[in-house]
Structure 1
């Protein structure tokens, strides 16, 4: 096994190990990560899965070898979507890992790991051992290596998701699924397998660089097929973009509102967790459905921990991730898709009608601003708004909410001189004024937009009306 000495190291966090391939993450480090998970848990079996992109299968093999050399058996689950990690660990009650790749050559890969029962590794209860294994001496091998147990789980995984959603008696629903040349091509037909569901596949084959079938074509394909719904998955089936029957994208906050209302119907009065930058319209929908909205820091670990603490019916992240109590308080794009199909089939109304009741609030999108001192930038924002009547809190960065329903949040990016800004208000002019006010405090000398797919120009520039 090649040792990656001299190369920059991967990042280690509650969800596992990530880094660029081959500079930061390679088979040598994947091997060490597998040994670390086996050492941390002491489990006799560790499940390992992967998506089909880039070096993910090779890294999964190296990870499994690290498990085997510690004397534990490696359950080779083969290819699977991102939430297959939760299913493996939760259903089988074993530690698990899933290796997933980035969207292109040189993009970061991630080895997501968890303990048995789909619980995250804690900083002083596992992550320290993972870091030590990645950077220190190679872990000694056990006297007797473990064995490989090959057990593809896609069919069992799909049956489990279908068991969580009642599709009995629904009308026929036609769904265009854009698999993004990824693992959803394997999983979506299994999960959506029902007599009342007609699936129209898009980009189900291997990626070949051909143009003209990008995700922007999904709306046109939905209209052309006279479909009820369009679902565009990323290559790991980790996230899903939703399109209605007219070809219009349904905002993540609207999806959150629909799914939260469904979940609260079976658990009236339950808590629903949402992160601090979730749109106000989703929060209002939770309240209208009789739920108790509770704010969380941004991120999977924080949302899942609060869901478990409060017995929440549902959880949501601003980017559209949906967390389900019945799925070990974890997120699942395919389970969310199944719920949307069930709601369309049950209600008999088009998705555009179901979404029309959700009032749109103008939103700035995420604005990344480079600053020399993120802490000082957040301090300026907090000091300025302290005497303005805004309700301020430091749950995650600095958030401020005003009596008219407008709000802002500024957060420091992890490990980078960058501040992330989001603003929402009831009218475009109010949103733009508050956005520019916050940005002027974050970077008094003018904004240097930072990296990220949602970066926006500096003060004075227009912003989109929706998140």
Structure 2
């Protein structure tokens, strides 16, 4: 019997296949998802379903679709997709959707990101807990869905060209200077979407020379994990940027909803700098707007938002929390340290591709190299995210908190301690893995290193 509490996380479903979940569980989740939609008067009579390149994704998606159809809604199958392509489908068709992906997790994992119509997020507090309870009841009864065969049809649609055309309308790259761009898709869905969005002559050629790395779709990730947050997975991109004399490097995660940036020297550009850069561009178009930033982004982000006439608002880590706060405030843009970027013009959803296009536009509209341009948005020294496997996470966090009695405490998401000299750190438990995540920032490298090592020593002992 499956225990869904092990796989239904704060804002998505995530677990190993087949030991933690399988097609029977997927069918129950599809039925439960549709039951929720039917009891909350969700518009339309269909659900959009897409999936990534993992070997288990097509079967899980098909089982989920059977559960949807059994509960009286038809299914629009968009097939292979990035997560932001699924959000485009949900937003443009005004239908709820489900994306089968485990994002950056290893090959044995899979998951589901579900949304309401208009790409509105579903998290624990906005329907995911109810979906888990309904699906658990079906599984406990010995069924994966109510008796009877699916009564609604499934329809197949190719929305990739429409998605590409929509993004190109939001960010016009046709007039920028020529750029050589190395793209590392990590054998993930960026290898499916990048050629059409940035390289398809049918949509009119762009002044971009794309140098592809690992565009072959392969859910076993034979070259490296599709997790650019880990510096080890950026090494190939960094080397290729230098070898090809490229202007910029882009790295996408497995479902291509996140994008990391490397400058012409092969040096990573922090997601906080990209958040500030894109925020400045959006505020130039929409003066005085609100911009959401994650709790762990650099202090420079809020400073730069204010300097460009915007109103910064902090939000918890996680796409459902960011999207909910964006909708509440009608924010024009939002960014996280994990390289998730959210846009009002994209139904408040996250899209790594649109963030990449904004970065390409900012670079191509002027003559400076990316290292200089990005340097305008870097003001502090950050550690990057450091993960530690800890048996008793609560005890470790409590010990760290007690060690700094004079710091200002914020418990919006995990433990954030801020110091009078501008240094701060955040320590929080992962929502998807058994880890404690540490992020440290300080005005100087010496202070950052000292604080980082002190906290890690306490966490890991």
TM-score w.r.t. length of structure 1: 0.85
Aligned-pair CA distance for 1:436:
4.4
| Equivalent residues in 2 for 1:1-12, closer than 5 Å | 5=1, 10-12=6-8
Equivalent residue for 1:274, pick from 293, 315, 321: 293
Deviation per CA, 1:59-105: give whole Å up to 9, x if none.
11111111112221110111110112211211111110010146687
Query: Does the Cα contact within 8 Å between 1:180 and 1:215 map onto a contact in 2?
Result: no
Aligned partner of residue 48 in structure 2, secondary structure:
strand
Question: Measured at CA, do residues 142 and 114 of structure 1 come closer, stay the same or move farther in structure 2, by a change above 3 Å?
Answer: farther
Structure 1 residues 87 and 367, CA, compared in 2 at 3 Å: closer, same or farther? same
Contact 1:9-1:19 within 8 A present in 2 as well: no
- The yes-or-no answer on 1:337 pairing with 2:338 is no
**Please, which runs of 5 or more residues in structure 1 have no aligned partner?**
449-467
Of residues 262-271 and 363-372 in structure 1, the stretch that sits farther from structure 2 once superposed is 363-372
The separation in 2 between residues aligned to 1:60 and 1:417, in whole angstroms, is: 26
8 Å Cα contact 1:273-1:307 kept in structure 2: yes
TM-score of the superposition, structure 2-length normalised?
Answer: 0.86
Q: Which residue of structure 2 aligns with residue 158 of structure 1?
A: 164
Question: Which of residues 389, 396, 400 in structure 1 aligns to 2:417?
Answer: 400
What RMSD over aligned residues (CA atoms) do the two structures have, in Å? Answer: 2.8
Q: Going by fraction, where is helix more abundant, 1 or 2?
A: 2
Structure 1 residues 29-48: aligned runs within 5 Å? 29-42=25-38, 43-48=44-49
- 1:88–1:407: structure 2 CA closer, same or farther, 3 Å change rule? same
Q: Secondary structure of 1:359's partner? A: coil
1:177 corresponds to which residue? 183
Instruction: Kindly indicate whether residue 375 of structure 2 is the aligned counterpart of residue 356 of structure 1.
Output: yes
The answer to whether the aligner puts 1:18 opposite 2:14 as a matched pair is yes
Deviations 1:373-398 (A, max 9, x none): 54455445545544x2x333222223
Match of 1:265 among 284, 300, 312: 284
Tell whether 2:320 aligns with 1:301: yes
* Structure 2 unaligned regions, length at least 5: 39-43, 200-204, 226-232
CA contact (8 A) 2:241 2:265 kept: yes
Structure 1 residues 186 and 12: alpha-carbon distance in aligned structure 2, compared to 1, 3 A threshold? same
Partner of 1:453: none
Q: Deviations over 1:273-310 (max 9, x none)?
A: 11221122333332332322222111112211221222
How many residue pairs are counted as aligned between the two chains?
438
Select which of 452, 456, 459 maps to 1:435: 452
8 Å CA contact 1:10–1:20 kept in 2: the answer is no
Contact kept, 8 Å, 1:381 with 1:398, in 2: the verdict is: no
How far apart, in 1, do the equivalents of 2:105 and 2:427 lie?
30
Query: Which residue in the other structure is 2:230 paired with?
Result: none
3-state SS in 2 of match to 1:347: coil
User: For 2:126 and 2:329, how far apart are their aligned partners in 1?
Assistant: 23
111-120 vs 374-383, which moves further: 374-383
Give the distance between the partners of 2:383 and 2:15, measured in 1 at CA: 30
**278-287 or 263-272, which moves further after superposition?**
278-287
Q: Give SS of 2:71's match.
A: coil
Which structure ranks higher in relative contact order (CA pairs < 8 Å, sequence separation ≥ 6)? 2
Are 1:84 and 2:85 counterparts? yes
Whole-angstrom distance in 2 between the partners of 1:249 and 1:383: 34
Structure 1 position 199 matched with structure 2 position 210: yes
Residue 2 of structure 2 contacts residue 25 of structure 2 at CA under 8 Å; is this kept in 1?
A: no
C-alpha contact (below 8 Å) 1:219/1:243 kept by paired residues: yes
User: In the superposition, relative to structure 1, how do residues 152 and 272 fare at CA in structure 2: closer, same or farther (>3 Å)?
Assistant: same
SS of corresponding position for 1:12: coil
Q: Greater shift after overlay, 302-311 or 373-382?
A: 373-382
48 and 394 in structure 1: CA distance in 2 versus 1, 3 angstrom threshold: same
